[in-house]
Amino acid sequence: MSQFTEALNEQTAHEFAASQQYVAIAVWYDGQTLPQLARHFYRQAVEERNHAMIIVQYLLDARKTVTIPAVSEPRNEFADPVEPVRLALSQEERVTEMIERLAHQARKEGDLVGEQFLAWFLKEQLEEMASMSDLLRTVERAAETNILLAEAYLAREAVGDHGESPNAPPAAGGAL
């Protein structure tokens, strides 16, 4: 197996782990009766799951080995409503670095198809880092007075693309 194929398989674990972390964050917000924040992260969890399945479909199409990984345990405890978004933003920043490393590896191996496949992910990471920074700013500002201001904001404004990326590569079994 090429290093690139191996690293792509590892990336599915990171995407599933991101999905699991967002489920944990959504459930935590739900437990705090902050339904809009919960809804936002339930949706993000599905998006991350779709990212994993997009990579799986690519590996299938490229006739490469696919291994569905175990997923590391997410964080379930948070001190206040800002902390989960801070964690989410640093997670997105880490994933961006991972995708960049993957793209470098594809280039190093002369795998132009693989490199081209990752272009969508790089664009998606830019979008996710931007929308998560927006959300962090909103939640931080609201936390200074009343966190329900963040709920009202999320009920009113669309943050992120809500999973609507019509140009996304196909996901194994279909995107959810």
Shorter beta-carbon distance to Fe ion: residue 33 or 70: 70
Q: How far apart are CA 9 and CA 157, in angstroms?
A: 36
Task: Report in angstroms the alpha-carbon separations of 35 from 12, 68, 127, 161.
Answer: 29, 32, 23, 19
Q: Which is nearer to Fe ion, 7 or 147 (CB)?
A: 7
Tell me if 41 contacts Fe ion by CB under 5 A. no
Pick the binder of Fe ion from 24, 128, 154, 171 (CB under 5 A): 128
Binding flag, residue 51, Fe ion (CB under 5 A): yes
Comparing every residue's Cβ against Fe ion, the nearest one is 51
CB of 36 to Fe ion, least distance (A): 19
The span from the CA of 85 to the CA of 113, in Å, is 34
**Is residue 115 a contact point for Fe ion (CB under 5 A)?**
no
And the tokens for 18? 């991101």
DSSP 80: S
CB of 95 to Fe ion, least distance (A): 6
Question: Residue type at 41?
Answer: F
Place of tokens 């990471």: 125
How many CA within 13 A on the CB side of residue 155?
Answer: 8
Q: How far is the CB of 15 from Fe ion (least distance, A)?
A: 5
User: Could you tell me which stretch among 43-51, 60-68, 108-116, 144-152 binds Fe ion (CB under 5 A)?
Assistant: 43-51
Measured CA to CA, the distance from residue 81 to residue 109 in angstroms comes to 44
Binding-site ranges for Fe ion (CB under 5 A): 15, 48, 51, 128
